[in-house]
Amino acid sequence: QLPEIAGLNFFSEYQPSSKAGGDYYDFIQVDPDHLGVLVADVSGHGTPAAVIMAMKRILLRSFLAHIRSPGETLGKINRILFKNLRSRHFITAFYGVIHLPTRRMKYASAGHNPPLLIHYPSGDLRELWADKGFPLMISLENEMVEHEVDLLPDSKLILYTDGLTEARNPEGEAIGSKRLASWLLEFGQGRDARQLGEKILDEVKQFMDGTHFTDDYTLVIVEIE
């Protein structure tokens, strides 16, 4: 269920490539003034990946939902999963915590592809890279640096997993992050989060021209009015 917050609009789409998928997104109401936005991707497919992601969801929602620091949250999840799971799987994740009164977001990344932040009046597009942080469950010690960014009015924050950008057409050409960014710039002005999300997925379908996804994909859009 998408949050209902004045001044923000949301879109989300998750499509598993099999019955048990390894992608995960979530919105966490940390407290009345803070909203968490998470997108994560477990390596591999099927039941093992789905079980790992279910455990991550339980940790986040049951024990760590009150933490305002995205770097601390991802670090705790990493340590718990690394100590308790013997698995060759790993998890990439991006977690942002928005301070709702100021629309300022702290974020950290565990090796996840960078979300895009687009301010449509200026045409400015930013990739939200993180200085440090590799995928979860690889090592007990995983330092994740927090960054901060202002979510300006008439902006959209786009989070996704690589199943979307690695989708291919019949010639074997991948969508890629640059093509996705160009679509978001071209079609985002004048569309709300839901309309933009549906338009992007329509463009993806046309690009693939009958080919099938080989990986789970997730697309999340946060619109700042």
On whether the CB atoms of residues 45 and 83 are closer than 8 A, the answer is no
Which three-class secondary structure string do you get for 165-178? HCCECCCCCECHHH
Structure confidence at residue 19 (pLDDT): 61
Compute the distance between CA of residue 124 and CA of residue 189 in angstroms, rounded to an integer.
12
The CATH code for residues 8-224 is 3.60.40.10
- Pairing between strand 147-150 and 104-110? antiparallel
What CA–CA distance (Å, rounded) separates 100 from 89? 34
CB atoms within 10 A of CB 159: 26
Q: Residue 16's pLDDT is what?
A: 86
Q: Is 55 helix (H, G, I), strand (E, B) or coil?
A: helix
Helix/strand/coil percentages in the chain, nearest 5: 30, 30, 40
Distance CA 77, CA 207 (A): 37
pLDDT confidence of residue 153: 98
Vertex 4 angle, CA 225 and 149, to 5°: 45
Q: Where are the beta strands (DSSP E) in 100-216?
A: 104-110, 116-119, 124-127, 147-150, 155-160
Query: What pLDDT score was predicted for residue 17?
Result: 78
Determine the pLDDT at residue 20.
58
> How many C-beta atoms lie closer than 10 Å to residue 168's C-beta?
17
**Residue given tokens 């549906």 in the structure block:** 198
Residues of the chain with pLDDT under 50: none
pLDDT at position 70, please? 98
Q: What is the pLDDT of residue 160?
A: 98
The answer to whether 76 and 142 have CB atoms below 8 angstroms apart is no
The answer to whether residues 174 and 165 touch, using CB atoms and an 8 Å cutoff, is yes
Q: Would you state the pLDDT for residue 102?
A: 98
- Residue 163 tokens, joined: 């199943």
Which is nearest to 197 in space by CA: 173, 216, 180?
180
Domain limits of the chain? 8-224
